[in-house]
């Protein structure tokens, strides 16, 4: 029987009959989750990525998105990817430092001066190097999307100088660099998953949190916070992560579709985030928040107070990683 089968195949090949190519793109349903609400600019990125995916797969793929930590917080969802039980997550890098310590480089206070620097570092060879490290942990980073520059909100008083942080119970992402940054400022830093923040603010378990304007707006923190201070103390990237165990079962053509459409989503999401930022700032003030800039001389004192975080965490992050990003930023700044 084996001989007959070989003969048949040989005969077919000899006749030059083209065998139907294996389906390079199969029917698939992809699950994506994240912690922000569906009104956040992440939704614009997901919509653009979904349109790209449907087009490139001729409708063979379906992308289902879940919002507001409904499938778990950033770290829980990321672990689901590593175990191959979920395809995608859009997550801040900060809660993942226990998986890949090098991600802590993005949490160093006042690292980036503006979005153009962040894009140049993340979309260049440094960002590729960090993405490469993620593969060792069963994760494929398809693209860096934008969480953004983080600003402080609180329910006690305006923060206009270093001393105003003293004793303030500030929620931070579960990350020792953020913990140390706010401890250095004199605050009582309290690590907490994003999904718990609104209730903790509402019940006065904490006094403050820090996030970009679009998150403060779309997560309705203005309902439970009175003061917003433009600290811009860190820029947090999102990672669009894909499960490597699942990735490894996909074809090269399917990999190319995910990379292309992940970048399409990135560009749409960054544009939406930057277009909404000033509107969100206006919206939260309209909703009653008191907004203040911080005097440059006072910002300098705040920067000085947190500089020691760089030295303290360089070894954990990887001294080579810290040196590489500093070199890249020096190159960009000329």
Write out the residues near ligand KDG by the rule CB under 6 A.
Answer: 34-36, 74, 90-92, 147, 173, 194, 211, 236
- Minimum CB separation of residue 69 from ligand KDG in Å reads 6
Largest CA distance in the chain: 86
- Minimum CB separation of residue 134 from ligand KDG in Å reads 16
Q: Quick count: other Cβ atoms within 10 Å of Cβ 260?
A: 16
- Minimum CB separation of residue 68 from ligand KDG in Å reads 9
- Minimum CB separation of residue 236 from ligand KDG in Å reads 6
Name the residue nearer to ligand KDG (CB basis): 147 or 229: 147
Name the residue nearer to ligand KDG (CB basis): 120 or 192: 192
Could you give the count of Cα atoms lying within 13 Å of 251 in the half-sphere of its Cβ? 12
**Could you give the 3-state DSSP secondary structure of residue 212?**
coil
Name the residue nearer to ligand KDG (CB basis): 57 or 154: 154
Shortest Cβ contact with ligand KDG: which residue?
Answer: 35
Q: Which helix (H) or strand (E) holds 169?
A: strand 169-172
Name the residue nearer to ligand KDG (CB basis): 189 or 324: 189
User: CA-CA distance, 53 to 257, in Å (whole number)?
Assistant: 7
- Minimum CB separation of residue 238 from ligand KDG in Å reads 7
Name the residue nearer to ligand KDG (CB basis): 42 or 162: 42
Name the residue nearer to ligand KDG (CB basis): 239 or 257: 239
Q: Which helix (H) or strand (E) holds 200?
A: helix 197-202
Task: Give the residue from 35, 34, 33, 41 showing the smallest Cα distance to 213.
Answer: 41
Pairing type for strands 290-292 and 227-229 reads parallel
- Minimum CB separation of residue 98 from ligand KDG in Å reads 14
In degrees, to the nearest 5, what angle opens at C-alpha 243 toward C-alphas 239 and 245? Answer: 155
**Could you give the 3-state DSSP secondary structure of residue 113?**
coil
Residues 6+ apart with CB under 8 A from 78: 89, 91, 95, 96, 99, 139, 241
């Amino acid at each position: 029987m084996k001989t007959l089968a070989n003969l048949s195949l040989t005969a077919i090949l000899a006749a030059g009959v083209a065998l139907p190519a294996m389906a390079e793109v199969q029917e698939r349903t992809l699950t994506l989750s994240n912690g922000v609400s569906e009104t956040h600019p992440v939704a614009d990125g997901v919509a653009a990525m979904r349109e790209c995916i449907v087009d490139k797969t001729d409708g063979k793929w379906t992308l289902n998105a879940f919002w507001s930590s409904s499938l778990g917080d950033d770290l829980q969802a990321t672990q689901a990817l590593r175990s191959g039980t979920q395809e995608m997550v859009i997550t801040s890098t900060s809660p993942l430092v226990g998986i890949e310590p090098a991600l802590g480089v993005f949490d160093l206070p006042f690292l980036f001066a503006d979005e153009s620097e962040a894009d140049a570092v993340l979309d260049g060879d440094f960002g590729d190097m960090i993405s490469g490290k993620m593969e060792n942990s069963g994760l494929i980073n398809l693209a860096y999307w934008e969480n953004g520059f983080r600003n402080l909100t609180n329910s006690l008083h305006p923060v206009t100088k270093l001393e105003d942080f003293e004793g303030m119970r500030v929620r931070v992402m579960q990350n020792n660099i953020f913990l140390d940054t706010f401890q250095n400022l004199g605050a009582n830093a309290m690590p907490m998953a994003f999904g718990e923040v609104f209730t903790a603010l509402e019940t006065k378990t904490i006094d403050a949190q820090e996030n970009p304007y679009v998150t403060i707006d779309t997560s309705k923190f203005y309902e439970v916070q009175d003061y917003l201070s433009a600290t811009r103390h860190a820029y947090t990237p999102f990672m669009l992560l894909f499960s490597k165990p699942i990735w490894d079962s996909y074809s090269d053509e399917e990999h190319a579709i995910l990379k292309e459409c992940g970048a399409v989503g990135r560009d749409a999401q960054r544009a939406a985030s930057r277009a909404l930022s000033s509107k969100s700032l206006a919206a939260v003030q309209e909703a009653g928040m008191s907004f203040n800039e911080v005097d440059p001389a006072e910002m300098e004192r705040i920067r000085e107070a947190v500089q020691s975080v760089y030295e303290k965490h360089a070894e954990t992050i990887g001294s080579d990683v810290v040196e590489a990003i500093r070199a890249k930023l020096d190159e960009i700044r000329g």
